Structure 1
Amino acid sequence: MSQKRREIPVFDHPIIETHCHLDYLKDQPLDDILSQTRAVNIEKVITIAVSPANLARVRELSRQQPWLYGTQGIHPHEAESYSDACEAEIRQHADDDKIVAIGEIGLDYYYDNADRNVQREVFRRQLQIACDHDQPVVIHSRDADEDTITILSEFEHTLKRRGVIHSFTSGPGLARYALDQGWCLGFNGITTFNKAENVRDIVRMAPIEQILLETDAPFLTPVPYRGRENAPFYLPFVAEKIAEVKALPLVEVIRTTYQNSLRTFFPV
């Protein structure tokens, strides 16, 4: 894909990368990626667990630098690998100092990599972990809006901290429900894609006070670097696009999403 590439902008105010997969990055040494990430004034990075196989790796990564954090949870693609032992491991580490959420959990009916009944059961079990440990949640929902709403509604009164529906590509019904219930919506490089007007419509709909910035690296690299492996240091392009779509001053977007990230994952 031919694109006019430009330097990554560096903002005076720090930003927070709320969703990436550091253990999936392959194109550069991790130390180089982290150095470039700090160079564009990214203050904190949250790397996300997705399977029984990477729970421990995420914990290890979160301990490598004081500004790295992690989550514990099983992605719906991996729901059939969920077990009592896996749940025990998530519970054991849910309150670790560097673990800031339960996730990535939820439903994916687009790929259907796991039986839908199993996905729903595993989603509920992990939401209960978040309730029991008073942790926010990182949710994945694709082509499953109705069931996501149904299951979240079951936990409205017991899940004290909400969290984020990340990489939001769902419809306005789920967006409205989530926003009304106090969830944030996470947006990434998809907002820069030519054919993603449906996602930009949700960006316009969502109050800036309920938007989080993320890359989902190594996936979904934003314009103007599509075709390369994504990385946390491309996050400033997402911030710029959010400001453009919402017709807000860039500095307001940066400062507000920063506070949103602190409120969601790092409450005082």
Structure 2
Amino acid sequence: MSRKRRDIPVFDQPLIETHCHLDYLKDRPLEETLEKTRGVNIERVITIAVSPDNLARVRELSGRQPWLYGTQGIHPHDAESYSDACEEEIRRHGKDDKIVAIGEIGLDYFYDNADREVQKQVFRRQLQIAAELDQPVVIHSREADEDTIRILSEFEDTLKRRGVIHSFTSGPGLARYALDQGWCLGFNGITTFNKAENVRDIVRMAPIEQILLETDSPFLTPVPYRGRENAPFYLPFVAEKIAEVKELDLSEVLAQTYRNSLRTFFPAG
């Protein structure tokens, strides 16, 4: 595999950005970001819904280019804003042509921005939508490993298409459960942080066949660009770090994570 070196590495093999928030980016015009993203051979980008306020915005963004896609779902931070109308909107648009998953949904006991019982109820309701629509799920779990396992176990038989636990920073127990159940784990710029050895330990234990690449931009900018707003075009640094940590050839990581992304979100190819 040949590779040209610039400020950001450019690979001959394509990448898929599986998790970002295009509507949160502020540093430059969106079209400039998208042009730069395509310039580092990122073939597809998935922008993620998180709140009742941006469900429609994500749908609009995903329609701007053939290679942009989106999700529909409510983040646990906004669980208390979930309503029947919101649920109906997610269900109505959850299988639109450019919508590839239900998410970002889950539990967050670190910030506790919403009551935990409400978070669990909203998590279950959205998993049920995914099961009904036969869509994969993008899951957020922070400091909530046991409850995440407990709730996911309720859907082992009904949620046929699993999905990803994104920005994985949880413990090995949740990692083992998720991997055994056929979920992918999503890794981003955290893997490059000096103090993130716990995350790199999970990268080492996870089969490359169940790893997805993401940026979670504008958050979690990878080294060597920490301190700047993150963007999808920094994804190559994540791929390099995964290859380094797993002691695999970079071309193998690029090829396999690309296949993993297609299998998870684009089963038709």
- Residue 21 (1) aligns with residue 25 (2): no
Q: In structure 2, how many angstroms separate the alpha carbons of the residues matched to 1:95 and 1:246?
A: 35
TM-superposed CA distance for 1:169, in Å, is: 0.0
Deviation at 1:11, TM superposition (A): 0.5
Cα distance in 2, alignment partners of residues 74 and 157 from structure 1 = 23
- What is the distance in 2 between the residues matched to 1:95 and 1:159? 15
- CA–CA distance in 2 between the matches of 1:115 and 1:188? 28
Question: What residue number does 2:231 align with?
Answer: 231
Partner secondary structure for residue 169 of structure 1: coil
Partner of residue 244, structure 2: 244
* Amino acid in structure 2 at the alignment position of 1:143: E
Q: Which amino acid aligns with 1:132?
A: E
For 2:8 and 2:95, the matched residues in 1 are separated by 35
Q: 2:213 aligned with 1:213, yes or no?
A: yes
User: How far did 1:89 drift?
Assistant: 0.3
**1:38-77 alignment runs, 5 A limit:** 38-77=38-77
What is the rounded CA distance, in whole Å, between the counterparts of 1:233 and 1:28 in structure 2? 13
Give the Å deviation of 1:225: 0.2
Per-residue CA distance 1:169-207 (angstroms, 9 max, x = gap): 000000000000000000000000000000000000000
1 CA distance for matches of 2:94 and 2:192? 34
Equivalent position SS for 2:260: helix
TM superposition outliers: structure 1 runs of 4+ over 6 Å: none
CA distance in 2, matches of 1:67, 1:27: 22
Tell me the alpha carbon deviations over residues 123-166 of structure 1, each in whole angstroms, 9 at most, x when there is no partner: 00000000000000000000000000000000000001000000
Query: For 1:108-123, what aligned pairs fall within 5 Å after superposition?
Result: 108-123=108-123
Structure 2 match to 1:104: 104
Total equivalences in the alignment: 263
Deviations 1:93-147 (A, max 9, x none): 0110000000000000000000000000000000000000000000000000000
1:18 Cα deviation after fit: 0.0
Instruction: Give the Cα separation in 2 of the matches to 1:39 and 1:128.
Output: 38
Structure 2 residue aligned with 1:156:
156
Distance of 1:242 and 1:27 partners within structure 2: 27
Letter in 2 for 1:9: P
**Secondary structure class of the residue paired with 1:124:** helix
Q: Unpaired segments of 5 or more residues in structure 1?
A: 1-5
Check if 1:31 corresponds to 2:35: no
Structure 1 counterpart SS, 2:139: strand
Q: Which amino acid aligns with 1:153?
A: S
Deviation at 1:236, TM superposition (A): 0.0
Letter in 2 for 1:39: G
Distance in 1, Cα, partners of 2:217 & 2:94: 23
**Mapped partners of 1:230, 1:127: distance in 2:** 29
What corresponds to 1:12 in structure 2? 12
Structure-2 separation of matches of 1:209 and 1:95 = 26
Deviation of residue 246 (structure 1)? 0.1
Q: Tell me what 2:184 maps to.
A: 184
Q: Distance in 2 between matches of 1:37 and 1:87?
A: 32
Give SS of 2:107's match.
strand
Amino acid at match of 2:86: C
TM-score, reference length from structure 1: 0.98
Amino acid at match of 2:27: D
Which secondary structure does the structure 2 equivalent of 1:105 belong to? strand
In the alignment, the residues of structure 1 paired with residue 119 and residue 254 of structure 2 have an alpha-carbon distance, to the nearest angstrom, of 35
Write the distance in 2 (CA, Å) between the matches of 1:54 and 1:105. 14
User: Residue 185 of structure 1: SS of its match in structure 2?
Assistant: strand
Percent of residue pairs identical: 86
Equivalent position SS for 2:46: strand
TM-score, normalised to structure 2's length? 0.97
SS in structure 2 opposite 1:102?
strand
Q: Secondary structure at the match of 2:10?
A: coil
